[in-house]
Amino acid sequence: MSDSTPHGSQIPAEGPAVGQDEWVARHAERRLLRQGPLGQLQERLSRVPWWASLVLFVAALSLLPAVESSGYVRRVAFDTVLYMLLALGLNVVVGWGGLLDLGYVAFYGIGAYAYALLDSDKFGVHFPTIVSVPLVVVIGAVVGFLLGLPSRRLTGDYLAIVTLFFLQLFQTLMTNGDSAFGHNLTGGPNGILNVDPFHLFGHSLVVQHQGVFSVSYYYVAIAFFVLVFVALRFVNRSRTGRAWRSLREDPLAAESMGMPVNWLKLMSFSFGAATAAFTGTLFAALNASVFPLTFYFVLLITVYTMVILGGSGSQAGVVAGALIISPLLEMLRDTDKSRVIFYVALVGGVALAFRFSRLLGIVAGATLAFGFAVHEVARAFDHSWVAGEKASGFPGVTAHWVVVPAKLATWIPPTTYIGLIAATLVLTMVRGRLRLVLLVPTLYLAAFVWENVMLAKPEPARFIILGLILIALMILRPNGLLGERRVEIV
C-alpha cells in the first residue's frame, strides 16, 4: 500500500516503460486474449449490464425453494445469503478502502445484540421492526465511526491490532455483561433469548412452517441482499467510491491531491459496520437468540476467506466467494460428502498441475499401484491394520486402497499429519524427477491422513482447510477469482 516506494517494486523485464501505465501497456495483450470461442464468450459476458446479471442471479436464488423443499437446504441457502451480505460489507472496508479491519464481525454482533435489546423480553422493549432495523444500522455506523477515530492516523498494521482487540473486547463485554455494575445487560454467556421475529406488513415472520424452514426469512434476506448490493454499487460508482480506491492504491498520493484521507477511512469503516449491523438484525430475528461466541475469530476468518477467494474489490466476486465457501463448509461437516470433495480436489489438483500430459498418467498409475501395494503389505502383516474400513458406498471404492486401521495408536495422527505437511513443503522446494518420485507417497499420505485423522474430527478439519485456502490464495492468486487487477505503480 503506502510502501510501494520506488526502490520497493521490481520492474518486470517485459513490463511497461517508466511513466507508462501498466493497464494501457497491456491493452493489446488483453485484446488478443479475447479471441477464440472462450474469449468471445467472456467478452459477451462482460457486456451484460450489471443489473441484468443481478436480476438473473436473484431470480435463480428465489427459485431455489421451489425446486428444493428440504428445510436443511433452505436453511443453508439462507445462511449463504447472510454470508453474502457480510462479504459485501467487508468488501467495502478491505476491497475498496484497503483497510485491514479485523473487528468486522464485532459489528455483526453489535447489530444482532442491538436488535435483541430493542426487540425482546429482556427489557420488555418491543420496537416495531420498521423502526428498530434502521436504528440498529445507525448504531452500527456510529460505533464503526468511533472505533475508526483513534485509528485514523494509523497505517494498516495498527488498525489491524486495534480492531482485533476490539473484537476481543466485544467478546469480553458480552460475556461479562451479565454482571455490569450489578445489572444484567447482555445475558452473559447464556445470551439473550426470545428475540422477536421480524414484523412486516402486519405479519410476524415465522421461522418454521409445519416443521420445515419457512421461506419468508429467505426472501427477506434476498431483499436485504438486493438493497445492500445496489446501494453499495452506487456508493462505489460515486465520488466517494473513486476516492476510496485511490486511497487504497496510494494514500499519500490521494492526500496530496487534496482528498480528506481520514474522513474517507472513517466513512469506509462506517459503511462496512452498518452493513454488518444490518445483517446482524436478520440473524438475531431468525435465530430468536444471540450468544457472544457466534461473533468470533472463526466467523471473521470465514468471511475474510470469502472476500479474498472471490476477489476483494469486486462485488460479484465476493458474492461468488460466499456462494462457494458457505456450502463447502456445510458439506465438510458430513463425512461422505467431505470424502467426495477431498478426492475430487486431490485428483483435480493433480490433473491441473500436470495439464493432462503424459506425466499425469504416470503419476496417477504410480499412486494407485503404490496404494494397493501398501494396502496388501499392511494386510499381510496384521489384519487389524486394515480392519477399520467400511466396504459399502463410496468408501468401498477406496477401501482396498487406503489403509484404515481398526484402532489408531496415539502417535500416528501427529506423526503422519506433521509428516504430510513436511512432505508437501519439501515438494514445493524440489524440482524435476525427484518431485515426481516424492509426489506419489505424498498423495498417498494425504489420503491416509484424510481418512484417519481429518475425518475423525470434522470441526477443526474444516477450519484447517479454510486457513490453507487463505494462505494458498494469497500466494498464488491474491486478486481472487474475479478481483480487480491491481495496477502496479512502476
Partner 1 sequence: MDTFIQLTVDALTLGSVYALIALGYTLVYGVLKLLNFAHGDVFMVGSFIGYGALQLLGGTSSPNVPTWALLTLITLAAMAGCAVLGVAIERFAYRPLRDAPRIAPLISALGVSFFLANSMQLLFGATPRNYDTFSLSNGALYFKGFDIGNVRVPLLRIITVCAAFALMIALWFLVNRTRTGKAMRATSFDREAAAMMGIDIDRVIVFTFVLGSALAGAAGVMFALRVPTQVSIGFIAGLKGFTAAVIGGIGSIPGAMAGGLILGFAESYTQGYISTKWSDLVVFSILIGFMIFRPQGLLGRADIRKV
* Out of 209, 333, 457, 485, the residue judged to bind partner 1 by CB under 8 A: 457
Residues 189 and 338: their CA atoms lie apart, in Å, by 32
Q: How far is the CB of 132 from partner 1 (least distance, A)?
A: 27
Part of the chain binding partner 1 (CB under 8 A), chosen from 35-43, 156-164, 272-280, 436-444: 156-164
Residues 414 and 407: their CA atoms lie apart, in Å, by 15
Q: Are strands 125-126 and 119-120 parallel, antiparallel or unpaired?
A: antiparallel
> Is the C-alpha dihedral spanning 243, 244, 250, 254 positive or negative?
positive
* Out of 16, 39, 135, 176, the residue judged to bind partner 1 by CB under 8 A: 176
Is 156 a binder of partner 1 (CB under 8 A)? yes
Part of the chain binding partner 1 (CB under 8 A), chosen from 71-79, 152-160, 219-227, 431-439: 152-160
If you count DSSP H runs as helices and E runs as strands, how many of each does the chain have, helices first? Answer: 20, 6
Encoded one letter per residue, x for contact with partner 1 by CB under 8 A and - for no contact, window 388-427 reads -------------------------xx--x-------x--
Task: Give the list of residues 6+ apart from residue 153 with CB closer than 8 angstroms, or none.
Answer: 262
Kindly report the number of other CB atoms within 10 A of residue 361's CB atom: 11
Task: Give the list of residues 6+ apart from residue 32 with CB closer than 8 angstroms, or none.
Answer: none
Reduced to 3 states, what is the DSSP secondary structure of residue 203?
Answer: strand
In the bound state with partner 1, the residue whose beta carbon lies nearer, of 131 and 468, is 468
303 touches 104 (CB < 8 A): yes
In the bound state with partner 1, the residue whose beta carbon lies nearer, of 238 and 256, is 256
Encoded one letter per residue, x for contact with partner 1 by CB under 8 A and - for no contact, window 296-325 reads -x---x--x---x-----------------
Reduced to 3 states, what is the DSSP secondary structure of residue 183?
Answer: strand
* Out of 162, 207, 230, 481, the residue judged to bind partner 1 by CB under 8 A: 162
In the bound state with partner 1, the residue whose beta carbon lies nearer, of 200 and 412, is 412
**Amino acid in the structure at residue 208:** Q
Q: How far is the CB of 472 from partner 1 (least distance, A)?
A: 8
C-alpha cell at 106: 464485532
Q: How far does CA 48 lie from the centroid of its chain?
A: 26
Residues 358 and 160: their CA atoms lie apart, in Å, by 47
In the bound state with partner 1, the residue whose beta carbon lies nearer, of 87 and 205, is 87
Angle made by CA atoms 387, 391, 394, in degrees to the nearest 5: 125
Q: How far is the CB of 299 from partner 1 (least distance, A)?
A: 12
* Out of 64, 76, 154, 331, the residue judged to bind partner 1 by CB under 8 A: 154
Burial environment of residue 103 by CB neighbours within 10 A (0 to 12, 13 to 18, 19 or more): buried
Is 333 a binder of partner 1 (CB under 8 A)? no
Q: How far is the CB of 160 from partner 1 (least distance, A)?
A: 6
Is 157 a binder of partner 1 (CB under 8 A)? yes
**Amino acid in the structure at residue 59:** A
Q: How far is the CB of 486 from partner 1 (least distance, A)?
A: 7
Angle made by CA atoms 349, 352, 353, in degrees to the nearest 5: 85
C-alpha cell at 194: 426470545
Part of the chain binding partner 1 (CB under 8 A), chosen from 80-88, 168-176, 272-280, 434-442: 168-176
Q: How far is the CB of 355 from partner 1 (least distance, A)?
A: 22
DSSP letter at 358 equals H
Part of the chain binding partner 1 (CB under 8 A), chosen from 103-111, 166-174, 316-324, 400-408: 166-174
Angle made by CA atoms 236, 241, 246, in degrees to the nearest 5: 135
* Out of 41, 257, 464, 487, the residue judged to bind partner 1 by CB under 8 A: 464
Q: Which of residues 84-123 bind partner 1 (CB under 8 A)?
A: 94, 98, 100, 102
Rg of the chain (C-alpha set): 26
Q: State the residue for C-alpha cell 463410496.
A: 394
In the bound state with partner 1, the residue whose beta carbon lies nearer, of 138 and 173, is 173
Q: How far is the CB of 487 from partner 1 (least distance, A)?
A: 11
Residues engaged in binding partner 1 (CB under 8 A): 1-5, 7-10, 94, 98, 100, 102, 150-151, 153-158, 160-162, 164-166, 168-169, 172-173, 176, 179, 252, 297, 301, 304, 308, 413-414, 417, 425, 428, 453-454, 457, 459-461, 463-464, 466-471, 474-475, 478, 486
